[in-house]
Amino acid sequence: MIDYKLADVPELGYFRTDLPHPRGELLLKTESIIPGYYKRPEVTAEIFDEDGYYRTGDVMAELGPDRLVYVDRTKDTLKLSQGEFVAVSRLETVFAGSPLIRQIYVHGNSERAYLLAVVVPAPGVRADGGEGSGSLKSLLSEALQQTAREAELNSYEIPRDFLIEAEPFSPENGLLSESHKLLRPRLRERYGQALDRLYDEIAEGQVREVRELRRAAADRPVLETVTGAVQAMLGCPDTALRADAHFTDLGGDSLTALSFSLLMKEIFHIELPVGVVISPANDLARLARYMEAERESGAERPTFASVHGEHSTEVRAGDLTLDKFIGARTLAAAPALPRPAVPCKPSC
């Protein structure tokens, strides 16, 4: 590190004159900084200021000399807990294209695997049939889903739930800049606590749904239990839970597939490999049929836990004994099985 400085970010409301601490985008000079992009002077000019400082894109607060604390990003991109990056400003532009949505603020953080939002309905949108039937929330939810389908968004780019705001964002209430851009720090300040409560409510609801699944699974069809578990874990809307829907298309990834697999094992006492869950060849109906077939066969395929132990942290070759892979009855009958009638040739 050679030097650093903060630069004002007026569109987000961060200034070096902020109190109690200066805030702004962190600009750096280091001994190992890149000189720029090869034969792309216009891109190079975007990442360096006129004094040759590199723009990090990180908004920091300066608590004291050489003491900086991360605050925000200048680019409207955030990373969800499963590692997916989402450009929230682009999503806001896409969703605001719906005739039912006047404004939308998309919210998320790296501790959660899904997004939330605050939605301002378009003028005249009501739940009394003026723009369709059903509750206002269901109208707006369907508008989000429809817009996402038309824009071919990924499932993790669609807010799982949202708050409805009657008052539009504006420069007067401090939520828009004079150029009518969303002021994210102000929006987080106003809606952050309510959105955090919504995250908690969703998590508690998932716990209740999973508890009910464990209690009543034996009396339900397997497909109903599968779709219920997927909805509880991924927060899918009812309209998306078709039998031909795929786990990954509904927002699942390898981590949630592992959790889903463990839940299915707890409910049905059947091993459901993660590869089967996320395979593009398997929709929810096929997953249900897979578990039905496994349950009817009664066969138990070997797993890491059955071979090496439930909580083993070491894998030993000595654990790979025949009885871990072949049933006891088959092994007991093996010595009495007839041998080949014709001796094997040396080339065998």
User: What is the tens place of the pLDDT at every residue in 296-320?
Assistant: 776 566 777 778 877 788 888 988 8
Task: Using the predicted structure, report yes or no on whether residue 201 has a pLDDT greater than 80.
Answer: yes
Pairing of strands 161-164, 116-121: parallel
More reliable by pLDDT, 226 or 77? 226
Say how far apart CA 134 and CA 139 lie, in whole Å.
7
What percent of the chain stands above pLDDT 70?
93
Intra-chain end-to-end CA distance of the chain, in Å = 69
Residues 6+ apart with CB under 8 A from 227: 241, 243, 284
Q: What is the mean pLDDT of residues 30-50?
A: 88
DSSP output for 202-251: HHHHHHHHHHHHHHHGGGS-HHHHHHHHHHHHH---GGG--TT-BTTTTT
Q: What is the mean pLDDT of residues 12-19?
A: 88
pLDDT digit string (tens) for 271-281? Answer: 888 999 999 99
Q: What is the mean pLDDT of residues 102-128?
A: 87
pTM here? 0.63
Residue with tokens 């987080």, as numbered in its chain: 188
How much is the CA Rg of the chain, to the nearest whole Å? 28
